[in-house]
Chain A
Amino acid sequence: AQTVTQSQPEMSVQEAETVTLSCTYDTSENNYYLFWYKQPPSRQMILVIRQEAYKQQNATENRFSVNFQKAAKSFSLKISDSQLGDTAMYFCAFMNPPLGRLYFGRGTQLTVWP
């Protein structure tokens, strides 16, 4: 069974600073996808970034980047130049195609303060 662990229930960062959210996962599969989703207080889940396991290069999306360590089964999210609008619950998720279902961690509540 696939499991996803987010060991930081809460994090806080000052505006314009950089923060890293941790995620580890457990799987015996070799082909899979990893995701970070953001869920602001309005509750709509929004995709932040995605990583394919077969790609060695870490994914980046503007201020968001990941550090994917396949051997260590680690998938951390780095947010640079944090903004107030980044305040949200962040979920790490795993998917093993073609089954399609997502396995989520319990989330990290990130607060960005002025």
Chain B
Amino acid sequence: DTGVSQDPRHKITKRGQNVTFRCDPISEHNRLYWYRQTLGQGPEFLTYFQNEAQLEKSRLLSDRFSAERPKGSFSTLEIQRTEQGDSAMYLCASSLDGPGSGDYSTDTQYFGPGTRLTVL
């Protein structure tokens, strides 16, 4: 397994445009998380999925943000009508809440490389 992957790695957009990011988790992982990280800060939780169900959303996830995980595999995070304040690194992580192949610890989140969003 190649770990968690995210696409694109960088995105530059103009204010008011819509953007969509993709995350592919580790294949055996049933949980998927989205975080946002601004410069000089630790990541902040946005939302998470168990399989295809979105179980928790942060208050940070305004109406302009939507996340999906169809079929419990990859996930997308869409931001509509982007604002300059949306500029950040968007991190995806995945974890397993039960026994797995042994390569990964249960209930431990493994992160992707992130998507850096710049809104002009």
Interface residues of A (CB under 8 A from B): 4, 33, 35, 37, 42-47, 50, 91, 93, 95, 97-107
Contacts of B31 in A (CB 8 A): 100
From 75 to 120 in chain B, residues with beta carbon under 8 angstroms from any chain A beta carbon are 89, 91, 93, 95, 97, 105, 107-114, 116
In whole Å, how far is B107's beta carbon from the nearest beta carbon of chain A?
A: 6
Contacts of B56 in A (CB 8 A): 99-101
Contacts of A45 in B (CB 8 A): 43, 91, 93, 111, 114
Contacts of B42 in A (CB 8 A): 4, 91, 93, 104-107
Interface residues of B (CB under 8 A from A): 31, 33, 35, 40-45, 48, 50, 55-56, 58, 89, 91, 93, 95, 97, 105, 107-114, 116
Whether the pair A44, B111 counts as a contact (CB closer than 8 A) is yes
Evaluate whether A106 and B43 lie within 8 angstroms (CB atoms) in the complex, with A33-B107, A101-B33, A101-B48 already known. Answer: no
Q: Which 5 A-B pairs have the closest CB atoms?
A: A104-B42, A45-B111, A101-B45, A44-B113, A91-B42
Evaluate whether A100 and B95 lie within 8 angstroms (CB atoms) in the complex, with A43-B89, A45-B43, A106-B40 already known. Answer: yes
Q: Which residue of B lies closest to A109 (CB)?
A: B40
Contacts of B110 in A (CB 8 A): 47
Choose from B45, B89, B105 the contact partner of A102 (Cβ within 8 Å): B45
25 A-B residue pairs with CB within 8 Å: A4-B42, A37-B111, A43-B89, A43-B113, A43-B116, A44-B113, A45-B43, A45-B91, A45-B114, A47-B109, A47-B110, A93-B42, A100-B31, A100-B56, A100-B95, A100-B107, A101-B45, A101-B56, A103-B45, A104-B43, A105-B42, A106-B40, A106-B42, A107-B40, A107-B41
Q: Which residue of A lies closest to B49 (CB)?
A: A100
In whole Å, how far is B76's beta carbon from the nearest beta carbon of chain A?
A: 19
Task: Determine the distance from Cα of A102 to Cα of B70 in the docked complex, in whole angstroms.
Answer: 23
In whole Å, how far is A108's beta carbon from the nearest beta carbon of chain B?
A: 10
Evaluate whether A44 and B48 lie within 8 angstroms (CB atoms) in the complex, with A50-B105, A98-B97 already known. Answer: no
Task: Determine the distance from Cα of A93 to Cα of B25 in the docked complex, in whole angstroms.
Answer: 20
Q: Which residue of B lies closest to A4 (CB)?
A: B42
In whole Å, how far is B33's beta carbon from the nearest beta carbon of chain A?
A: 7
